[in-house]
Amino acid sequence: MDIAKNIKIVLVNTSHPGNIGAAARAMKNMSLDQLTLVAPEEFPSGVAVGRAASAVDILEKATVVSSLQEAIADCSLVVGTSARSRSIPWPMLNPRECGDKIVAEAQQHKVALVFGREDSGLNNDELQLCHFHVQIPANENYSSLNLAAAVMVLSYEIYSAHLDRSANPADEQAWDQELSTAAQMEHFYQHLEDVLVALDFHDRDNPRQLMQRLRRLYGRIRIDAMEMNILRGILTHIQQRIRPKN
């Protein structure tokens, strides 16, 4: 699968190395090979190698980083997984839509599919770094899948979408600019927050959900690189105007 190089599976703070190995095996079965581990509790690990079976190569070339932001910095689409919805509602995909979207966008740029901790999933700050959330429909009395099983289901949907698309190539939507990466979006949110504080519009000590709602707003419109330059330029000009001259 030629687009596999653009699809990162990101596991955040995994506690059981066996799950890392089983996730690598699921990925390889589904022709994926880019595994990023955010602060795993135990890695490298013989237990992971045992569970990976013939997917040890994926473990060997896995990237280990210390934060989710670092893991997704170069990605222009980030999808987070969640067994339940929380805080404010977020744009949702079902697993099939998730597969279609990832395959469509991976033709153009890097995408990340992010999985959470075995005991507590992804926290709200991590979920806010995502454009979309995907939930695997499951028993309403027990909807939390094993981590590697969740990786399997969503990797299968990616591979299925790839097979469908190979059979019926879609017309790509032409766009003149690259989409902003997660790192560029993060710089923008910092800049925006600084300006809103300077304007007395926003109080960092009483934030309510302002930044969360602005992240959801700007995440929905998928800002491209040129639009990002314009927005950053506007913010810089506001800062120049309100900064006391001395």
Contact window for ligand SAH (CB under 6 A) among 44-52, 114-122, 171-179, 207-215:
114-122
Instruction: Among 138, 183, 211, 214, indicate the residue that binds ligand SAH (CB under 6 A).
Output: 138
Contact window for ligand SAH (CB under 6 A) among 100-108, 139-147, 215-223, 236-244:
139-147
> Do residues 217 and 192 make contact, with C-beta atoms less than 8 angstroms apart?
no
Residue 129 token pair: 């770094």
Q: What's the min distance (Å) between Cβ of 153 and ligand SAH?
A: 8
> Nearer Cβ to ligand SAH, position 142 or 201?
142
Residues 176, 182, 187: CA angle, nearest 5 degrees: 100
Does residue 81 touch ligand SAH according to CB under 6 A?
Answer: yes
DSSP state of 165: H
Instruction: Let me know how many helices (H) and strands (E) the chain has, helices first.
Output: 10, 7
DSSP state of 208: T
Rg (the chain; Cα; Å): 19
Q: What's the min distance (Å) between Cβ of 117 and ligand SAH?
A: 6
Does residue 143 touch ligand SAH according to CB under 6 A?
Answer: yes
Phi, psi of 207 (to 5 degrees): -75, -15
Q: Contact residues for ligand SAH (CB under 6 A)?
A: 81-84, 115-116, 118, 120-122, 135-136, 138, 143-145, 147, 150
